[in-house]
Structure 1
C-alpha cells in the first residue's frame, strides 16, 4: 500500500482528509463509471513529510512568531519566505519515488504513443476551516510535461498554502497554521477541441428541467476564467435545444508540447457554434447521469476530444432554487398595484434608497420619511400626491406598497429661484449645529421616555409620537440642510475649468472632494481598524476586542444595514456578529487594511489637485477658489452627516418598537418581542389594549416576508416581488442589443479591466477579492468597506448621487450605475472593462 500516492479510482467521498476536496470528488466520479481522465493524488502525508524532512516546521513556526507584533507587510514577507523554503527544499526521496512510480503508471495507462501532459491541482482538505474563504487561494498548473516538472509544480502547490491571504485569515481565526494540509491532484490532460461548463439545472431561472451549457474552443480555462464570451445553450434533459446564443470566442487556450498557449480564433470559426447536435446530446446524457448519481443539480466542467465528452469536475450547485415556484410570491388574484404605463417620478430613488424588504412596521417609518421629503419639496414648488404612501396587505400576508409620487406645479417657477436666493445667505454650518443638536436631544428624550414606559398602551403612543418627530427631522434635513447650492457649485466648476481646461474639470473636482471626514467615512475607517486587528492579532485577541468595543461604542446604536427608512433591522450593538461578514470581506486581501494609509492617499490627491488649480489661477482668483471649495466641501460633509444622524433616529425607533414588543409578549398578545415588526402602526393601539387578536396574522405575514426576502437574496427588489410595480422594460435598439457593451450612468471617473464578482447581498461579501469588479443590484452604507477591496463598481440602480457613486469617488475607483439587470447579464469571473468616465461596460472576449 502506498504511503504518499493513490490513483483517483482508489478515492471516494471518505478520502477528504488524505486527498482533499478535488481528489475525493474525482474519485467519486470515476467510481460512478463516468468518463473522467485518469490520474493520481499526492496525499496530504507527502506534504507533511516534505516539511519534516526539510526541518521546515520549526522554521515556519519561528517565522510566524514574529507576526504577532508586526503589521500587514510582515505577513507578506513571511509568505514569500515560507513559500520559497518549500519550493527550494528537495522533495523527500521516498515521496519522489512514489510520485515517479505513479507518473510512470499513468503514462502506461494513457498509452506509449502519448506524450503525457498533466494538470497539477491543489486539493485542500479544508478540515475545520471555512472553505469558501480559502477558495481560489491555492494554485493549479496546466500543461505540465515530464516528471521533473511534475515534482516542481507539486511543490508550488504546497507553497500556495502559504499565500499572504491564507496566513492572514488563519491568524484572524486563531487557527494553527500547521494543522492545515494540502493534497495535490495530478491528472491526465485532454487536448480538447472544445470545452466548458455545464449546469445540470438552469441556475438563472431555477428550472430543474433545463441544462445550461457554456462552451468555447480549446481548453475550458478560457470559459472558466472569463477570457471569452462563450457559446451558450439551453437544453431539455432529452437534449433538445431550447435556446442557443453564439459567443464571440475570440481566443482559445490550446495544449501544446511545451505547455498551454493562448491564440486568436480564426474569424470563420468564431461565426460557427463550437458544438454540434451529437455533442449536445452526449452532454445532456452526461448531465442526467451525474445528477442521478449525486441526487442533486451539479455544476460540471467537461472537455471534447475526437467526438468523446470527458468529465473533468462536478460540484453541487449552491445558488440554485430547488423549486422555481418558491419565488412566486403573488397569488392568482393579486394584481400589480401601480397601473401606470411608465414608472412614476421618484421611483428610481425609492428603489435605490429602500432596497431591503419591509416588514409591516417598516412601512410606517417609510411613509413618515417620504412625507417629510414631500413636504420639503412643496417649498420648492412641487405638489403633494393625492394620497399618502400606504401598505397594502394581500390575502397571503404579503405586503405591497401603494406608492404615490409627487407632481410638478407651476409654483416651481417662482418658488425654486426664491428659495435658492435665500439659501445663499444662510449660515449652513450654524444651521447644521442646531439641527444635529436637536436630533441628539430628541434621541435622548425618546430613549429616556421608553425606559420609563412599562405598559404596552403607553409604548404604542410613544411610537406614534416618535414617528411624527422622525418626519419632522426628515423635513428639516431636506428643506434646511440639503438645499442644493447650485450657484456655489457652478462657481467652483467655472474656476476649475479656467485653471485646467474643460476636459479635466470632473477629474480634478473628484480629487478636491476627497478626504472628507464625514461620519460614514470615519465609521469605515474605524471598522478597518477592527479588521486589521483581526488580521494581525486574531479574533480572540485583546486588541481585536478593544477595537470592536470602540466601534460599537461609537456606532453600535445604528441599524446594521444602514437604512434609515426601516425600524426592523437590528443595531450593530444587538448583533455584533453581523460585522464578521464585512471583516471577512476585508480579510480577503490584507493589503487594504491600512486606514491611515488610505486616508493619507486621499489627502494627497486633494492637496495635489489644489496645487494644479493654484498654477492655473491668479492669486486673487485662487483665494476666492479656496473659499468656495471649503464651502462646497462643508456642504457635502453636512449632507452626509445628516444622513448619519437620521439613521441614529431609526436605531432609536427600533429600540422603542422592541420595548413595545417585549411588553406585548409579556402580556401574551404576541409570541416574541420581534413579532412587533409584523404589526401595522394602525394596529398597535388595539393590540396593546387587548382588543385585537394578531398572532395568526403575524404568522402569515412572517411566511410571506420570508419569501420576499428569499427573492431579495437572489436580486429581486421587494417592490417588484410584492407586486407594488410592474417591471418597466426599456426598448433596446437592435445595434445596442447585439453590442458587446452595456451602457449605464457615469458615477465615478476612471477605467479598469478585471474579473466580475456578483454580490447580491451581505451574505456574499466574502466572495469579493482584491482586484475584482463589484457588480451588485445596489449598495448601502453596510457595503462601504467593499470599496476598499474592489477595483471598480457597477450597480443595477442608482445615480451620480447614490451611495455607490459617492463612495467610489471617495476611494478613487471607477463606477457605473443604472445598468439594468447587470447582475444576471454578467457572470462571476467574466472579464470586463469599466469605463466610469463615459458610463460604458465592455465585455472583453
Structure 2
C-alpha cells in the first residue's frame, strides 16, 4: 500500500470563502463514496502524525477484515487490503480519521438481525435520509457455522489478552531506558503486532455490542418505552469505573501515585495519538484534580463506587420495567441486558487495551527520538513522530520527494499544525470540504436558546458551562458542565467532578455517553456545534432525557 504520509506531505490547500478550505487530500476517492467521522474519531480523535497513522492504519484495516472473516461474513478472498480508498473501511482525510459508511452498509446487508439503518445509527449516531436497507441471505450458512463459537468464546479470550497486555506493558516500560535504536524498533514492531491482534478481538466486541444495543432499542420502542435504552445501557461496570475509583483512592491516600500510574498511566491528554503525553510521563493533569476528589467522602453518592452501584440499580429497574410488558419479553430482556452489559464493559476494556500498546510505543519512540537526536539525525526527539514507522525501519533512506530528514519533518510538522485548526464535516461524499475552526464564542447563544443533540444519559443538571479543548489545562470546578468536541479515556479526571456532559460528536455507544451513564451524569451528545454555540461560563441546563441544552443566562 502506498505510504499515506507521503500523500499527506504532498497535499495542497486552496483558500475558499466563509472560512472554508478545500483539500486535495485523498483526491483519488470516488465522488459517490460516503464517509463519516462518527465513532472512528472517538477512537482516534485529533490529527494523526505520520508515525501514528503508519502504525495504526494497516493493522486496523486487516483486523476489520479478519473480524468479518472470523464471523463468517467475509470469504478468505476478502482478507487482503485493497489499495483503492473506496474499498477500505477507514482512512484519514486532512489527517483526521474517517470511516467508510458504504463498506459498513455492505457488511450490514450480509448480517442477520441488523441492517444498514441500524449500523449507521449505532456506529455513527445518525441515519442518512437516503439510507435503504438491502439485506442478502447468501452468507447466512457461513455466519451460522462460525459466528456463535467466535462470540461465545470472546469474553474470556478478551479478558485474557487484556491481562497479558497489562503485564507486557509494565515489563516493556522497564526495558526502554536501556534500549539502543535497534531495540526500540524491535519493541515498536512488537507493539504494532500486539495492537493488530487485540484490535481483532476488540472490533468483534464493538460489533456485537452495537447489535445488542440495537436489539434493546427495538424492544423499548415496541414496548412503548422509547428512551429507556439509555438506562438499560447504564451501570455495566466498565474499565473506566476502576480508573475513577482509583483516582478517588489516590486522593484519599489509599493508593500511591506509583501504583496508580502502573495501573492507569497509559491514559492522558490526546491519548488516541501516539504523540500524546500519557499520565505516566506527566501526571500533572491527575494531581491537579485531587483536591476536588478529597471533598467527596466515602459515603457521598458521588463517590465512584456509590455511583456505580446506583447505576447498576437503575439498569435493573429499567430491565424490570421493560420485562413487565410480558412474560416472554421479560425472559428475553434479562438475558439481553446481561449480555449487553458484559459486551459494553468489554468495549471500554478494549479501548484501554490498545492504549496499553500505545503507551509502550510512546516510550520506545521517545527513546528512539532521543538517540537519533544525540546522533544529530533529528533536531528534536519529538520529530520522530513526524516520520513513518517504515521510514524509521528503513534507516531514513529514500525519503519522499528526495527530501532530507530535516526538511521532511519541517514540512509534516507545519502541515500537522495547520490541520489542528481544520475540521471535517460529520459526513460527506467523495472529498470533504474542510471548515476552518473559529475562535470559541465569548458571548455564546442568547438566553433561552436550545442546543439539540442525542439523549445519551438520563437526568437533568444545571451549572456553569466549561468549554474544554484540553483536559490537561482545563480550569474546572466541582459541579461544572463539561462541554467539548469529543472525549477519550484521558478525560475521566473531569467526569468525576462534572455535573453533566455535552459533546459535539458521537452516538449512544461513543466514549463520552458510556462513561456518563456509568457515573450517572446527564449527557447530550452529537450536538455538532455545541462547543461553539455555548460560551465558557454561561449557565446552562442539560436534559439528558430530551437531548437538549438550554442557555439560562
Instruction: Give the corresponding residue for 2:8.
Output: none
Return the offset for 1:684.
0.8
Structure with larger RCO (C-alpha < 8 A, sep 6+): 2
Q: 2:522 aligns with which of 814, 825, 830?
A: 814
Q: 1:337 aligns with which of 24, 33, 40?
A: 24
Instruction: Give the corresponding residue for 2:312.
Output: 603
Q: 1:840 aligns with which of 521, 528, 548?
A: 548
Distance 1:553 1:450 in 2: 11
TM-score, length-scaled by structure 1: 0.48
CA contact (8 A) 1:391 1:402 kept: yes
**Cα 1:482–1:694, aligned 2, differ >3 Å: closer, same or farther?**
same
Confirm whether residue 354 of structure 1 aligns to residue 44 of structure 2: yes
**RMSD between aligned residues:** 4.5
Instruction: Give the corresponding residue for 2:207.
Output: 483
Return the offset for 1:639.
1.9
Q: Deviations over 1:518-550 (max 9, x none)?
A: 21221111112223x2xxxxxxxxx37x43233
Instruction: Give the corresponding residue for 2:405.
Output: 694
Aligned pairs for 1:155-166 (under 5 A) are none
Q: Deviations over 1:102-159 (max 9, x none)?
A: xxxxxxxxxxxxxxxxxxxxxxxxxxxxxxxxxxxxxxxxxxxxxxxxxxxxxxxxxx
**Cα 1:427–1:680, aligned 2, differ >3 Å: closer, same or farther?**
closer
Q: 1:632 aligns with which of 332, 340, 344?
A: 340
Instruction: Give the corresponding residue for 1:215.
Output: none
- Secondary structure class of the residue paired with 1:756: strand
Distance 2:241 2:509 in 1: 16
Distance 2:192 2:425 in 1: 23
CA contact (8 A) 1:454 1:663 kept: no
Instruction: Give the corresponding residue for 2:443.
Output: none
Distance 1:402 1:841 in 2: 28
CA contact (8 A) 1:798 1:817 kept: yes
Instruction: Give the corresponding residue for 2:102.
Output: 407
Instruction: Give the corresponding residue for 1:727.
Output: 434
User: Structure 1: where are the runs of 5+ without partners?
Assistant: 1-328, 393-398, 534-542, 730-736
**Cα 1:490–1:719, aligned 2, differ >3 Å: closer, same or farther?**
closer
Distance 1:409 1:762 in 2: 32
CA contact (8 A) 2:34 2:100 kept: yes
Confirm whether residue 386 of structure 1 aligns to residue 84 of structure 2: yes
Q: Deviations over 1:427-455 (max 9, x none)?
A: 64632322443465467679669949954
Return the offset for 1:390.
7.1
Return the offset for 1:386.
1.0
Q: 2:392 aligns with which of 684, 699, 716?
A: 684
Return the offset for 1:841.
3.1
Distance 1:839 1:639 in 2: 24
Return the offset for 1:641.
1.5
Distance 2:485 2:453 in 1: 13
Q: 1:525 aligns with which of 229, 240, 245?
A: 245
CA contact (8 A) 2:33 2:102 kept: no
Distance 2:151 2:512 in 1: 26
Return the offset for 1:352.
3.6
Confirm whether residue 669 of structure 1 aligns to residue 377 of structure 2: yes
CA contact (8 A) 1:351 1:719 kept: no
How many residues end up aligned between the 2 structures? 477
Instruction: Give the corresponding residue for 1:642.
Output: 350
Distance 2:161 2:48 in 1: 28
CA contact (8 A) 1:524 1:785 kept: yes
Return the offset for 1:584.
5.7
CA contact (8 A) 2:36 2:98 kept: no
Q: Deviations over 1:207-242 (max 9, x none)?
A: xxxxxxxxxxxxxxxxxxxxxxxxxxxxxxxxxxxx
- Secondary structure class of the residue paired with 1:415: coil
**Cα 1:518–1:792, aligned 2, differ >3 Å: closer, same or farther?**
closer
Distance 2:291 2:59 in 1: 33
- Secondary structure class of the residue paired with 1:775: strand
Distance 2:394 2:210 in 1: 48
Distance 1:762 1:490 in 2: 32
- Secondary structure class of the residue paired with 1:794: strand
- Secondary structure class of the residue paired with 1:767: coil
- Secondary structure class of the residue paired with 1:783: helix
CA contact (8 A) 2:235 2:517 kept: no
Return the offset for 1:336.
0.9
CA contact (8 A) 2:274 2:361 kept: yes
Distance 1:760 1:360 in 2: 23
Aligned pairs for 1:12-91 (under 5 A) are none
Distance 1:513 1:451 in 2: 41
CA contact (8 A) 1:560 1:782 kept: yes
- Secondary structure class of the residue paired with 1:426: helix
Instruction: Give the corresponding residue for 1:15.
Output: none
**Cα 1:821–1:738, aligned 2, differ >3 Å: closer, same or farther?**
same
**Cα 1:577–1:346, aligned 2, differ >3 Å: closer, same or farther?**
same
Q: 1:660 aligns with which of 341, 358, 368?
A: 368
CA contact (8 A) 1:669 1:690 kept: no
Q: 1:761 aligns with which of 466, 470, 479?
A: 470
Aligned pairs for 1:230-379 (under 5 A) are 336-338=23-25, 344-368=34-58, 370-372=60-62, 374-376=64-66, 379=69
Instruction: Choose 1 or 2 for highest CA Rg.
Output: 1
Distance 1:366 1:559 in 2: 18
Return the offset for 1:786.
2.6
CA contact (8 A) 1:525 1:595 kept: yes
Instruction: Give the corresponding residue for 2:268.
Output: 560
Distance 2:211 2:13 in 1: 48
Distance 1:578 1:738 in 2: 33
Confirm whether residue 515 of structure 1 aligns to residue 235 of structure 2: yes
Q: Deviations over 1:478-505 (max 9, x none)?
A: 1x3333267755765677678xx523x5
Instruction: Give the corresponding residue for 1:425.
Output: 148
Distance 1:351 1:624 in 2: 33
Distance 2:326 2:97 in 1: 53
Distance 2:195 2:367 in 1: 18
**Cα 1:593–1:740, aligned 2, differ >3 Å: closer, same or farther?**
closer
TM-score, length-scaled by structure 2: 0.71
